[in-house]
Structure 1
Amino acid sequence: MEATLITDLPFLDAAATEAPVVTPTLPPAVIASRLQRAWATALFYLTDARLLWRFMRSGARMQLAKTRIEELKRAYYGALQVKKVARVDGRYFREYFAPGMPSAAYDTYIASTVNRLVPFRGDADTLNLVFLAITKKCPLACEHCFEWDALNEKEVLSRADIQDMVAQFQARHVTQIFFSGGEPMLRVNDLVAVVEAAQPGTDFWVFTSGFNFTRDNAQSLKRAGFTGVSISLDHHEPARHNAFRGSPDAYANAVQAAAHAHEAGLVVNLSLCVTQDFTTPANLLAYARLARQLGVTFIQILEPRAVGHYAGQAVDLSHAQVALLEEFYLEMNYGPDYLDWPLVHYYGYHQRRMGCGGAADRFLYVDTDGDLHACPFCQKKSGSALCSSKGGSLDAALASLKTRGCHPFAQASM
């Protein structure tokens, strides 16, 4: 099966007739002031120290935990020091896959991290993050969709099923849940009801193309308790993003969603699938400039994988393109010229150095049937998250997933 280039798709030919998209300029979330950054950094330090003392309860154990945390930071960041901080609705954010501080979710996240290094709470739960697909329905036809074979089939998950899964994951100290699909905004009323019924201690996010992300819906999500929204935007040029997503309205919807989320006080992430055609220095910088204009907090870089609609296609990036992405990640996050630009999250950078945290080690994926997988790209069923309704054990399913581990994609990225 040959890959279809976006330049072959009809939306590009129709670009001249499409209405121009007005991209708003929104206030930045990333802190520009050196003094305010220093204050936020000090606040993180004091909060972590307070939590460490609360968990360890002795000077010797606290010192042991501090030593192991420093070792973990060196393994993850090397000699780099995190400087950039974003502030949204009174909370501070430094990592996309970490809850904002202050919050009960942040405290639980630190507790799980410390417990992993110096056990103190009598359990071995290490799962921090769950990607939970709640619908098979989607109005788009995205070039890279990993749920392509399930799209627009009959729904399986009820609102009660979603509530039950959320409750079970919260009971296991999960601090971030990302609702995906399909297009989860098609079930916005269910999203609101589920999060309203959830316990404190978890940051909730929704993945969306921007479809149905109206001002009213953004406000409803915020009132319900959502922390953020991850908006799929795969090109800085409207026509090319529209072609990639199979809709002439995709770019306008994404940009408008960013504006509505920003207005509602939600953290905004732009999720970018970096294809072979896209991955050039000029495109990456133009995309980052657009993200800065939109006032977003994070840019998430996803490498394409040969699953779903890309199955059987040669979509992997070249070694030179991977090196370019790593250079972009380092420069945007640590370069002195970009301290007030959005933070870049590029999981592949750390995955190649530390291994994959999927397969219920730190995160996992639940598909639209409620089945567990190592991650969205490593799709091989390993039990169900609907254990209470099926008479099974979620602990047993998670243990099986950990034993099975990750797909060869994870190893190929090392």
Structure 2
Amino acid sequence: MKYPIYKNPVFRVDIEPAAGKTKVTAGGILSPVLRKAVTQEMAFFDNQKYIAELNENSKSGPFSSYYDKYGDSLIYSTWMPPIPSPAFSRMVKSRMNAVFGKYQPEQVTISITEECPNRCLHCALPNKNNHSKLTVAETKDAIGQAIRAGATNIIFDGGEPLGYAGLEELISYVDPKKAIACMFTSGVGLTEEKAKSLKDAGLYSVSISIDSPIEEKHDYMRGVSGVFKNAVAGIQNALGVGLLVNVYVVLAPHNVYDLDAVYEFAKSLGVHELSFYEIVPTGRWIDNTTEILTAEQHDIFKTFVAKCDADSSGPKLFSGPLVIDEFGCMAGRQWMHITPEGDILPCSCVPIPYGNVKTGYDAVSAAWKKIRKDSAYKGGGCLMRDSEFREKYGNQFR
């Protein structure tokens, strides 16, 4: 079955699952002209693994609740709404606007609380220790502002969002016709009961951080013993209640040689997606500018991705470093972040506030306009790994 990615009277793009991979086609009288403008976006969807095809057979399977909600559709990734769906159509409209230079904050992460039981060495939050958090009312206002600005993916994180009273209320506040509600977590506190509660509230997917498939290495990076077991239990509990589960890995020199083990670990658990982002010198890691991947280590990662893509039985991969290579850094172009104090940042890694959600109805849109006027956010590699950017803006980091 073909699913429409984009369609109008003169141009359409469809995606079709076949033998575990996708095939993207374009048609319409203006196809020869318009497909050139969206070649990069089409390639992102073409010949890729997908998570699930929802149809009548899904009614009694692990994706039954997603079928009940979205009907016949394709779940391509934990990072985006099903294809088709009203929220996905909003996302595609945003991407089409971006092709012509008009960007919107498609993904907005909201750190609802600074509180966290872990002490991760690479945490993007600085060591403020002021126990900041957004109230439920403030967060709802931030959600509304973000969606009005164009967001189609609202991600709750922290700190540790599972310790936030009112999390389910926030998740249910995200209108599924406009955006999906997702969550980043270490897995601490993700019991079976909590996982079901979050799913019932409307959580679309959960991303659980794993630094290493080796318990001691993971716990070392998390700064607390025993959290590896919590993460694994959280993954199993989320899968058990039928949630989409993404394992999120911060790719760094300490784990780049364990990639095969990470993949087999994720595969053995049965997670739906395995995502990688490269370590960024920010937050607690802000002075570790030399602890980033070398060119050789990037090549190791690329070889790993190619091998995993050939394995039809494993989880889908989201390869952050390769996406940035292809599309440029998402900070201030597709991504926006809101801190527990309400500050609006270009992303969670760039600690430069351009506004605060508590200042008014259109604070997010106003901050986005300021960000877009700043010449720094025009694409290219990660800004926080760019020595010129750090030299120019570094006095605003602390």
Question: Which TM class, normalised by the smaller chain length?
Answer: 0.7 to 0.9
Q: Give the conservation status (yes or no) of the 8 Å contact 2:157–2:183.
A: yes
User: What's the offset of the Cα at 1:60?
Assistant: 5.0
SS at match of 1:258: helix
Assess, with a 3 A threshold, how the Cα gap between structure 1 residues 197 and 355 changes in structure 2: closer, same or farther: closer
Give the aligned partner of residue 98 of structure 1: 80
- Tell me what 1:341 maps to: 314
Once the two structures are superposed, residues 257-283 of structure 1 have per-residue CA deviations (whole angstroms, 9 ceiling, x without a partner) of 111111222111111122212211xx1
Give the conservation status (yes or no) of the 8 Å contact 1:84–1:340.
no
Shift of 1:55: 9.0
Shift of 1:65: 3.9
How large is the RMSD of aligned CA atoms in angstroms? 2.6
Distance in 2 (alpha carbons) for counterparts of 1:100 and 1:202: 11
Structure 2: stretches of 5+ with no match in the other structure: 13-26, 53-62, 68-72, 389-398
The one of 375, 399, 407 aligned to 2:369:
399
Structure 2 counterpart of 1:129, from 96, 99, 107: 107
| Residue 371 to residue 83, structure 1, CA distance change in 2 (3 Å) | same
Do structure 1's residue 318 and structure 2's residue 300 form an aligned pair? Answer: no
Question: How do residues 6-85 of structure 1 correspond to structure 2 at under 5 angstroms?
Answer: 42-44=1-3, 47-48=4-5, 51-53=7-9, 64-74=33-43, 81-85=46-50
**Residue of structure 1 in register with 2:175 after alignment:** 199
Match among 162, 167, 170 for residue 185 of structure 1 = 162
Using the alignment, how far apart are the partners of 1:98 and 1:286 within structure 2?
A: 27
5+ residue gaps, structure 1: 1-41
DSSP-derived class of the 1:386 partner: helix
Letter in 1 for 2:51: A
Counterparts of 1:410 and 1:144 in 2: how far apart (Å)? 14
The one-letter code sitting in structure 1 at the alignment partner of 2:37 is R
How far, CA to CA, are the matches of 1:270 and 1:153 in structure 2?
29
Residues in 1 aligned to 2:234 and 2:98: alpha-carbon distance in whole angstroms:
37
1:175 Cα deviation from its structure 2 partner:
0.9
Give the distance between the partners of 2:244 and 2:114, measured in 1 at CA.
Answer: 25
Identify which of structures 1 and 2 has the higher relative contact order when contacts are C-alpha pairs closer than 8 Å and 6+ apart. Answer: 1
**Residue equivalent to 1:239:** 216
- Structure 1 pair 117–279 and aligned structure 2 pair: CA distance change class (3 A): closer
The answer to whether the 8 A contact 1:209-1:231 is kept is yes
Change (3 A) 1:326 1:52: farther
Mark the CA change 1:374 to 1:410 in structure 2 (over 3 Å): closer, same or farther.
farther
d(CA) in 2 for partners of 1:372 and 1:54? Answer: 39
Distance in 2 (CA, whole Å) between partners of 1:198 and 1:71 is: 30
Q: Report deviation, 1:139.
A: 0.8
Does residue 1:287 correspond to 2:246, yes or no?
A: no
* Sequence identity percentage: 22
Q: Cα 1:229–1:393, aligned 2, differ >3 Å: closer, same or farther?
A: closer
Higher normalized strand content (fraction of residues): 2
The normalised TM-score by structure 1 is: 0.77
Question: How much does 1:117 deviate?
Answer: 4.0
Which residue in the other structure is 1:255 paired with? 232
Choose the corresponding residue for 1:107, options 80, 89, 92: 89
Higher percent of residues as helix: 1
String of CA shifts for 1:101-156, please: whole Å, max 9, x gaps: 3432222212222344479xxxx562211111110100111121111313x42324
Paired positions, count: 350
Q: For the Cα contact (< 8 Å) 1:137–1:183, is it kept in 2?
A: yes
Q: Contact 1:229 / 1:266 at 8 angstroms: preserved in 2?
A: yes
Q: What is the alpha-carbon distance in structure 2 between the residues aligned to residue 54 and residue 131 of structure 1? A: 35
Tell me by how many angstroms 1:67 deviates: 3.9
Change beyond 3 A, Cα 1:113–1:237:
same
Q: Is residue 2:124 matched to residue 1:146? A: yes
Counterpart Cα distance in 1 of 2:372 and 2:296: 32
| 1:235 positional shift | 0.7
**CA pair 54-395 structure 1, distance change in 2 beyond 3 A:** farther
Question: 1:365 maps to what in 2?
Answer: 337
Give the Cα separation in 1 of the matches to 2:312 and 2:144. Answer: 38
Q: 1:327 aligns with which of 292, 299, 303?
A: 303
The two structures have a TM-score, normalised by structure 2, of 0.80
Deviation at 1:48, TM superposition (A): 2.3
In structure 1, distance between residues paired with 2:319 and 2:357: 28
Q: CA deviation at 1:162?
A: 0.3
